[in-house]
Structure 1
């Protein structure tokens, strides 16, 4: 019989091995986390309070903000603990929980970005039929489908990863428990798990990306045909912001997941810093604070708060 042992805990090697960088990174990531929570929580609060934001676009934005808070919160405590004490031990069950929750919310956001692209397509290309295409029921169904798809996909990859035997090194070459880094620690045949990860995640990512690209192909064709300068600028402002964030998000996700697990190292695995920490913080700015309706709703909310406090 093979000498194989099951892990009861793992060692996360952290974001950096240089002690002089830990304190500055701890402060920076703490500030990013605070900004992320405040910005995204503000969007979640504003949407139900202002009747002008009761549309499918802002429904998707509120859910995007909720997802950003959850998937960053799945990672941030571990990262901050690693920067504070260096390498940290995480239990087997904690690693499973972190891997599942992070993967679920990342895939959910992946699908939600595709739903948002379709919503923008309907708004720009079918403006007269927009209210009949993107009804509240359709918005709710699309949102629920994104959550179901994300959690189902995460369940498959998490279960497939931890059905493997782990032996030898306990060290995860990453700053949190993530599927590709965990698979490399297995001493059993991991070829099937790698194929499930590459093809399973690849199908979800590429399908959503294809829908986004098709939607934007029609959007840009429609925009370039517009004769109204105001309509052109409004459509471009909305779509370009979304397209930039999509490019950053999909670029880092594809780089991270659609490569053999044997090629992962601390150098390449720092790439997820962008979509685990930077993108959730930027989303409220890119999607919300540049929007006049959101700015107006925020100003109204602040004024009401001042009045209630007697200022």
Structure 2
């Protein structure tokens, strides 16, 4: 690509997670196994919720959306890594890299927004149970998801366009297993001040808004729970939030450690943390929600029995 506003790099080289051939073989086999389990678990949850009328409620509507996003999120990065390993190549074209980056930002942030919506749903269910049906109407549920999709797509488009305007003059080796924004920025020979500024302003806002809403929701939930008259009521209220809190802690813990600091400090440890929210979190979500949820376990049991019969 030529011109002042275009890059001279036509492809990038993805070094992988370790950068060593022997370890990459083991890691790719591990990635394949985890990816297949991720697909199976999340698709099973989507199927169970779709087929069971008992689960046609706001909470499970949001859970089905979360499982859909998790399937797509893990599919953005893992298949390309596996294909490159099978064909003995490390390259990814400039266009594919920017596309991967766009969907990575979109789906990663969508996970956070859905966790926020699910926290709000739990807040209404516990703090305003008598008005739950009136507040969490189907139209509001669809609206919350639609607004989230529009917001994260605009966010991803902004950051992708800001990266596309940069020049990549010589180095094209990405010290990662996918086109992560920070390693890509480190390769640019252009001034990335605007990119860094937008990351810490607009990007920080997109990240912190749902995170703050989740925290506020659970502060309200716990302040309400401690006022319940019986220990059984407290346990029942907390059991509905335990799965969600586990996923939130895992997801936001990894992201806080990687992206809430300058791209110049990106290291090998951050690549490992990236695996947590790109592969591990989508993997454990179905197990956390199914093993800790009586209704989901019953729905999965009915689905399996129906398939056998």
Task: Give the TM-score normalised by structure 1.
Answer: 0.94
Q: Distance in 2 between matches of 1:267 and 1:283?
A: 23
2:60 equivalent in structure 1: 58
Residue 119 of structure 2 corresponds to 117
- 1:96 aligned to which of 90, 95, 98: 98
Specify which of 257, 277, 286 is matched with residue 279 of structure 2: 277
Q: Decide which moves more: 249-258 or 223-232.
A: 223-232
Tell me which moved more, 1-10 or 45-54: 1-10
Q: Which residue of 2 aligns with 1:268?
A: 270
- Relative to 1, partners in 2 of residues 1:3 and 1:303: Cα closer, same or farther, differing over 3 Å? closer
- Tell me if structure 2 keeps the 8 A contact 1:14–1:83: no
Q: Please say if residues 252 and 274 of structure 1, whose CA atoms lie closer than 8 Å, have aligned partners that are also in contact.
A: yes
Aligned with 1:181 (options 180, 183, 199):
183
The answer to whether residue 11 in structure 2 is matched with residue 9 in structure 1 is yes
Give runs of aligned pairs for residues 64-79 of structure 1, distance below 5 A: 64-79=66-81
CA contact (8 A) 1:81 1:88 kept: no
Residue 85 of structure 1: CA displacement?
6.0
Where does 1:32-47 land on structure 2 (aligned, <5 Å)?
32-47=34-49
Matches within 5 A, 1:246-261: 246-261=248-263
Q: Does the aligned pair in 2 maintain the 1:184–1:261 contact within 8 Å? A: yes
Q: What is the CA–CA distance in structure 2 between the aligned matches of 1:208 and 1:131, rounded to whole Å?
A: 23
**Unpaired segments of 5 or more residues in structure 2?**
none
SS of the aligned residue for 2:91 comes to strand
CA displacement at 1:243 relative to structure 2: 1.3
Q: Does 1:290 align with 2:292?
A: yes
What is the number of residues matched between the two proteins? Answer: 307
Separation in structure 2 between the aligned mates of residue 37 and residue 240 of structure 1, nearest angstrom:
23
Q: How far off its partner does 1:289 sit?
A: 3.1
Distance 1:64 1:24 in 2: 29
1:64–1:3: structure 2 CA closer, same or farther, 3 Å change rule? closer
Q: 2:282 and 2:181 mapped to 1: Cα distance?
A: 21
Mapped pair 1:206 → 2:189:
no
RMSD: 1.8
Secondary structure at 2:187 match in 1: coil
For the residues of structure 2 that align with 1:204 and 1:148, how far apart are their CA atoms? 12
Contact 2:14–2:90 at 8 Å: present in 1 too?
yes
Q: In the aligned structure 2, how far is the partner of 1:33 from the partner of 1:238?
A: 27
1:106 maps to what in 2?
Answer: 108
Question: Hey, what does 2:222 align to over in structure 1?
Answer: 220
Q: CA deviation at 1:53?
A: 0.4
1:192-237 CA-to-partner distances (Å, cap 9, x unmatched) read 1111112222101111111001100010111111223333222212
Shift of 1:177: 0.4
Q: 232-241 vs 271-280, which deviates more?
A: 232-241
- 2:241 corresponds to which residue? 239
Q: CA deviation at 1:162?
A: 1.2
Q: For residues 235 and 7 of structure 2, what CA distance do their matches in structure 1 show?
A: 61
Q: What is the SS of the residue equivalent to 1:270? A: helix
* Residues 132 and 78 of structure 1: CA distance in aligned 2, closer, same or farther (over 3 Å): same
**Partner in structure 2 of residue 80 of structure 1:** 82
Q: TM-score, normalised by structure 2?
A: 0.94
- Asked if the contact 1:15–1:79 (Cα under 8 Å) also holds between the matched residues in 2, the reply is no
- 2:97 is equivalent to residue 130 of structure 1: no
| Alignment correspondent of 2:28 | 26
2:193 to 186, 191, 194: 191
Counterparts of 1:88 and 1:165, CA distance in 2: 21
Range that drifts further, 80-89 or 69-78: 80-89
Distance 2:161 2:34 in 1: 31
Contact kept? 1:4, 1:187, Cα under 8 Å:
no
